[in-house]
Structure 1
């Protein structure tokens, strides 16, 4: 495969491309979903093909196909260059980068593909059974997901790379009901790796805990309204890091001046306890990459350091536009999609406070627990998230559970009022779109953080 991709790159260079690459990807996956003792989904998937990119001046040309023979690739090379020549972008060329070569296997001790589907199905059945702890549990949901991808990339820098990615996820969600009221709770485990990640998981504990907490929520009270002291848990802290600060720190938003963080490097944007990074090298995290889809190695990108805004995430293109090194954040959903600046693992780093220390200082407030959804607002910098649930804090003690609540405010206002940062960071896996399309695996998170946030709910 590398040889035929190299021929396509040579052809694009001969036709006048200043930079070009050829990327083959072969992706496969398996999903199993069970609800109320019944298997609702048992599906595998496979998608393979090639994408050629050519850059002429500041314009890109793309061409892709599922066929990968030499004749097809040479034709695609001509189409990519012709497409780039038809553009009129005045952007900069891509500076020469280090040529990289090598073959890299996925860090999976037990590749999911080597495990019979019957074992995976049994795992999901056990998780479903573990949730059925009470007549109040009216709906059980168990999900297993696995995904593997092999990427082969050749570019005009002289790089010849082949690498593998492997991801796996298991999730339980229980719904409880009593007196016409319904509540839910979920637990999960995931990461980059193989079946070893799930074989060390206590499936009974995961399922029964989800059911237990859903039942606890049946007694939850209405959350307070207005601006209160709010201790965000790692999942909700991660929503703030990802949806607002993260998307607004993607280099393509910066060069187009569509981010509220444009020109903010060197400015104080948060309490000095806040440090935020995008780090694609975190061992085992769901958004971890060996290389991005342009062949740039993943890196730890410092976004906020001790409250001061430090810098942005970049692809080859945005790095060239801003005259800085690329950070390994050029990502595409698959070979048929264009390249964007995308996050990997985006999170606030740990501080020095224990959760108990944070709580004991609070006269009245809330602590959140997991999320339902969040809003992306890189232009205005607004934060809006719905937490799954929370708990009241009264006179330094956690008292009653509260129902799902909405948290709102300006991201920088929240970060400037953050006066305590927890001593342990946790990451939460997910899939992120650029707007409403082009989805890639990521994770976000942080420690518990204490801030002033506007809260509301039913």
Structure 2
């Protein structure tokens, strides 16, 4: 349910909007109350953290006159609204240099809408003691599995988001939850010490607790193989990606590259390729908070735009980017519901949400059979891209060698994919009929402005350059 704090501030927000509307053509108030809690256990200790990524509570007022946007953030909006409005107005200054840099924009549509959104949750059924007991018991169960395990870290992280968005004609509120769980082992074998992980996620605590223990055996099998993994011989290879690596490619290849605030600044090559082939004709890609249910799913963005499902690539052709309100106004397009803030006192940027390739028609087993020699590439480590020049680098935790159409016991780690985005995407020759979304990610805009994102898709067959250096 919407937090009681924000419920008590909806009327206050409307009063502040009406007072500021005497000076500005458009005014909005975004209120946020985000609660997080992480519970963890390892061989030596347990932890409870209530101040992790995204925990925040406060308000941001956005105002617009002609070509000027103004924002003012504050912890609370109680008090005399005339006094507060005057304080906000007096704090806004435009010098001559800033006036010269302003870009002409259209007007904001403030269409009437009053709606509450809520996602079903079971958070009230679990105490912190319940979550702590779960991670301790699971940690003990994993440690008992093998003497090769030096340590085991188990964690459950819960997120509860309440937001209100108020303008003269709109009153929106939303509450949604998400849960991420993880298991990590520090493992010694073959005179090597490695780490391996498994994760689980859902909108509910119960489902996450149900899934995580089922992955113990796969975690230990992975740890054993990583202990014997060798560096890959650099070169060009046919590969099959698991959904995690497919998502990493989507995120790095045409995630940041189609964030349209980069179009405004001419920092994205994708701006010149809308309507052109950028990938194989069997490639389709989407982004949107309404596209799937995952960690980056919400009901409306921080600009008050309802969540959407945006088709980015259709049959290999780049058809659309994603945008926040400001970039859409500057480009003369409709905002796509991708305006997101790290916190109420941070600027809104165009940001990815759930970014993924769509399923194809191929069977994974047939894709593997089609490869004479190559690798099945698995599990995202990290990645980066250059949106202006379309260079890309994706790092996978490991690859499994494929010989004569069969997976072998030969693992390589780490694995680095690099190259030119269109070359990679145009090399895709098969797309599996499955779809998985990775629900535990976070992403920065450059090196800052962190928000929760997810990515994924089916398995892809492509030809790429692989190496082992980082």
TM-score per shorter chain, which class? over 0.9
| 2:271 aligned counterpart, secondary structure | coil
The aligned residue for residue 111 of structure 2 is 98
> What TM-score do the two structures reach when normalised by structure 2?
0.91
Task: Spell out, residue by residue over 1:428-452, the C-alpha distance to the aligned partner (whole angstroms, 9 max, x if none).
Answer: 1211111122211110111111111
Shift of 1:383: 1.4
Which residue is equivalent to 2:142?
A: 131
1:43 aligns with 2:49: yes
Q: Is the 8 A contact 1:35 1:139 kept in 2?
A: yes
- The offset of 1:223, in angstroms, is 1.6
Q: Which runs of 5+ in 2 are unaligned?
A: 1-8
User: Cα deviations across residues 266-287 of structure 1 (Å, max 9, x unaligned)?
Assistant: 1001001100000211453111
**Alignment counterpart, residue 3 of structure 1, candidates 1, 5, 11:** 11
SS in 2 for 1:152: strand
Which of the numbers 293, 297, 312 marks the counterpart of 1:284?
293
Report the RMSD for the aligned CA atoms in angstroms: 1.9
Q: 2:19 touches 2:82 (CA, 8 Å); kept in 1?
A: no
**Which of residues 416, 425, 433 in structure 2 aligns to 1:415?**
425
Q: Which moved more, 1:372-381 or 1:350-359?
A: 372-381
Q: Look up the match of 1:68.
A: 77
How many residues align structurally?
451
TM-score (norm. length: structure 1): 0.94
Secondary structure of 1:200's partner?
helix
Q: 1:169, CA displacement in angstroms?
A: 0.7
Cα distance between partner residues in 2 of 1:84 and 1:398: 64
Q: Is the 8 A contact 1:127 1:206 kept in 2?
A: no
Cα contact 2:291–2:308 (8 A) shared by 1: no
Structure 1 residue 414: deviation in Å? 0.2
Measure how far apart 1:161 and its partner are.
0.9
8 Å Cα contact 1:278-1:343 kept in structure 2: yes
Q: Which residue of 2 aligns with 1:293?
A: 302
Distance 1:128 1:151, change over 3 A: same
> Could you tell me which of 251, 261, 281 is aligned with 1:242?
251
Q: CA deviation at 1:94?
A: 3.2
| Aligned twin of 1:155 | 167
What per-residue deviation string (whole Å, max 9, x for no partner) do you get for residues 354-410 of structure 1?
111111111111111102111132222111111111100111111122221111111
Equivalences for 1:305-384 in 2 at 5 Å?
Answer: 305-384=314-393
State the partner residue of 2:3. Answer: none
Indicate the SS of the match to 2:386: coil
2:360 alignment partner, SS class:
coil
Check conservation: 1:56, 1:81, Cα contact below 8 A.
Answer: no
Q: Distance in 2 between matches of 1:406 and 1:182?
A: 21
1:275 to 280, 284, 302: 284
In structure 1, the residue matched to 2:194 is 183
1:230/1:283 CA distance change after superposition, 3 Å: closer
1:27 aligns with 2:39: no
Shift of the 57–216 alpha-carbon distance from structure 1 to 2, 3 Å rule, reads same
Is the deviation greater in 378-387 or in 69-78?
A: 69-78
